Amino acid sequence: MCGIFGFIGRSKNPKITYDLVQNLFLKTEIRGTDATGFYALQPGDGTIILDKEPVKSSDYVKRDMWTRIFAENNDVDEFIGHCRQTSVGGGPEKVNKNNHPHWSDDRRVAMTHNGKNSRV
């Protein structure tokens, strides 16, 4: 299983949004401890903020990367968060392209899911 969460809508208080998202990462970690990632859009120009790492979320939110990327740019109006539990046959979490969210080459479209990809 994986932990998936997100929101759409502009916060009246970005600091509260940051605290909420950080707490969701911590509470959702029980659903997946192999990798953590997020995709967010800032209002107005739609600047994209994204990152994913093969670490559990309680370690991720302590990293400089999380603070630098999200804590300092937390005025977002769309957010997808993911705590991955690696599925058998779903690709190892140490290969970061297997982790979530997944995004298009131009980074304008992102998605996450629970379960492994089917191979055609």
- What digits encode the pLDDT tens for the residues 60-102? 999 887 887 777 777 888 999 999 998 877 788 988 889 999 9
For residue 120, the model assigns a pLDDT of 42
Phi, psi for residue 3 in degrees, rounded to 5: -105, 125
Q: How far apart are CA 2 and CA 111, in angstroms?
A: 14
What is the average pLDDT across 1-30? 90
For residue 79, the model assigns a pLDDT of 92
E strand or H helix that includes residue 24:
helix 14-28
Phi-psi region of 38 (alpha: psi -120 to 50; beta: other; left: phi over 0): beta
Q: How far apart are CA 4 and CA 105, in angstroms?
A: 22
What is the value of pTM for the model shown?
0.87
Alpha-carbon torsion (62, 64, 70, 72), positive or negative: positive
